[in-house]
Amino acid sequence: MSTNNKLMRIYLRDHLAGATAGAARARRLAAAEQHSSDAETLAAFARDVEEDRQSLISIMKQLDIAPNVLKNSVAAVAEKVGTLKANGRVVQRSPLTPVIELEAMQMGVRGKHSLWVSMQRATERAQLSGVDVDVLFQRAEQQLLLLAELHQRRAEETFGPSSH
């Protein structure tokens, strides 16, 4: 295996682990916010994040790169542990929680955006069937805009003058 192929394998496996954690976080956020005004938007976002994860799996299959079960398991556990943070409340969900979770989702989507940039360059040399990396790149850009809007609104609701 060439160094480039080895590096691509490591890179995609790491991104799949991140995508696994990100998809779980997006589902958890959508479920927790199912009664909010953002419920439909967050549910659609969670579906898109899972579709992006499936696209990455498809790319890996086409490149003959198997997922790393250990990395994915560790990522899934880390995502669950990440929910055990102080948020000012012990029993119920705090208004601070969605602000922090939206920030975490923004970080994840920024990483995914960078992945698709890298894959655009890599796929110039290799043809992938059934996966349009340009569309995935554009969707990541739309997701970043959406998350920024949701985050701004939630931060204003949580920290604005009327919240005190």
CB within 8 Å of 11: residues ≥ 6 apart:
118
> What gap in Å lies between CA 51 and CA 23, rounded to an integer?
9
pLDDT in tens, 18-51: 999 999 999 999 999 999 999 999 999 999 999 9
pLDDT at 1 over 60: no
Q: What's the CA angle centered on 28, arms 45 and 82, to 5 degrees?
A: 115
CA distances from 14 to 56, 115, 122 (A): 11, 10, 16
| Domain ranges within the chain, ordered by starting residue | 3-163
Its pTM surpasses 0.75: yes
Q: How confident is the model at residue 2 (pLDDT cuts 50, 70, 90)?
A: low
> What gap in Å lies between CA 112 and CA 142, rounded to an integer?
12
pLDDT at 152 over 70: yes
Which one of 1.20.20, 3.40.50, 1.20.1260, 1.10.3470 gives the CATH number of domain 3-163?
1.20.1260
When mean pLDDT is compared across 24-28, 73-77, 107-111, 125-129, the lowest value belongs to 73-77
The SS3 of residue 37 is coil
pLDDT in tens, 38-95: 999 999 999 999 999 999 999 999 999 998 776 766 766 666 656 655 555 556 678 8
DSSP letter for each residue of 70-133: HHHHHHHHHHHHTT----S-SSS--THHHHHHHHHHHHHHHHHHHHHHHHHHHTTTS--SS--H
